Chains A and B, each alone.
Chain A
């Protein structure tokens, strides 16, 4: 039996200002699959993740995205998130004055309200928070600080992964999760992702390097150049890329 796709992107065009960045991008992801998109700088990888998450700075000019069969492009960013889309940002934003614990509570309760559930009480919140924080080395001190303020690059990436584990989305986009991570942090973050791999949950990894894919092994690899996929294959495609670079695709 063929499963319904979780995410279906068809012939997508998008731009920032006057600049066209996505040029007929198509991709279908089924539940449980891990896809990786690799591509040179400026190929549109981060635009793609921002468009899926609904960043208003990007304008979709044609094409469509279906998520669980529903039109994602008509939803606001919070509706997309509460429907199960999660973007782990390449450059997580700092929120001065907004405590991390309060932020997590606000996000979780927003999702619960969206699902028609009552807010989680303090005990339930801590129960959900503690084991996930421990697994990623998120300390109590970090949870007391304002969101991402004063965090190192590695801490910010861990915090993104932690938020993902905490909110339990169905579709996770990891936008250059490996950039700025040392080898130990990369291993910790990858383990947290691998623990989350389940038959109903899918991942889209966006990366420049093959290294990440040694730790999180994808089912499919796509090469993106000039705003569209130019080649798809299994994990061996990354090795070929590592050897030859993107020159053949340009």
Chain B
């Protein structure tokens, strides 16, 4: 697989929906009592996902890993609309950036006034390996209902030097240690079918 422009892999409820297709807008309507799980692996290009939770009991989990190297650019947009009360959403985005890559993540949560008792969470974390890479995280929370639980956070930083030293002090060479830590960083939200792509990217970029 060659990692080029506009490469993004997706699975929706465990089914591989598209491979190396040009990412576009994905719209998913979730009815009552159903959960939708979307996993994405983004190398570059635009990924835009809109989820509409239409009835009580609807929920969604959006899990996205982005790996940005070279001079590639990505823009990831999540837009979750809690059209009904008693709906649940969770967005988790983790990224690794190196070289001169740049990524922007825009995560929107919309809860209109009538949609009470919703739960919405959004978490973004990125590890930036070079000074030239850049990442922008823009949370957009439009919450008009007052009886909801909503949490969001974003953390961007370098690779943990204490963890790196611990591995190296056990004899693991620096480049191997970095890969071990970076794989561990994304693994918990990564769809297992994407693992080989992640390994391939690491070999080339870390």
Interface residues of A (CB under 8 A from B): 53-57, 76-78, 80-82, 87, 89, 92-98, 102-103, 106-107, 110-111, 114, 146, 163, 167
Interface residues of B (CB under 8 A from A): 161-163, 165-174, 176-177, 180-181, 183-185, 187-188
Most buried by A among B171, B177, B187: B171
Whether the pair B170, A163 counts as a contact (CB closer than 8 A) is yes
Whether the pair A76, B180 counts as a contact (CB closer than 8 A) is no
Looking at the assembled complex, report how far the CB atom of A100 sits from the nearest CB atom of chain B, in whole angstroms: 12
Give the distance in Å from the alpha carbon of A89 to the alpha carbon of B169 in the complex.
10
Of A56, A76, A82, the residue contacting B161 (CB under 8 A) is A56
Of A98, A146, A167, the residue contacting B171 (CB under 8 A) is A167
Give the distance in Å from the alpha carbon of A76 to the alpha carbon of B181 in the complex.
18
Give the distance in Å from the alpha carbon of A92 to the alpha carbon of B162 in the complex.
10
Of B169, B177, B180, B184, the residue contacting A54 (CB under 8 A) is B169
Whether the pair A81, B171 counts as a contact (CB closer than 8 A) is yes
Q: Contacts A56-B161, A93-B162, A106-B176: A77 and B184 contacting too (C-beta < 8 A)?
A: no
Pull 28 A–B residue pairs with CB atoms less than 8 Å apart, ordered by A.
A53-B169, A54-B169, A55-B169, A56-B161, A57-B165, A76-B173, A76-B174, A77-B168, A77-B169, A78-B172, A78-B177, A81-B169, A81-B170, A82-B171, A87-B169, A89-B166, A95-B167, A96-B184, A97-B188, A98-B184, A103-B180, A106-B167, A106-B172, A107-B167, A110-B172, A110-B173, A114-B171, A146-B184
Give the distance in Å from the alpha carbon of A54 to the alpha carbon of B187 in the complex.
29
11 more A-B residue pairs beyond the given contacts A53-B169, A82-B171, with a C-beta to C-beta distance below 8 A: A77-B169, A78-B172, A78-B177, A81-B169, A97-B184, A103-B167, A106-B172, A106-B176, A107-B170, A110-B176, A167-B171
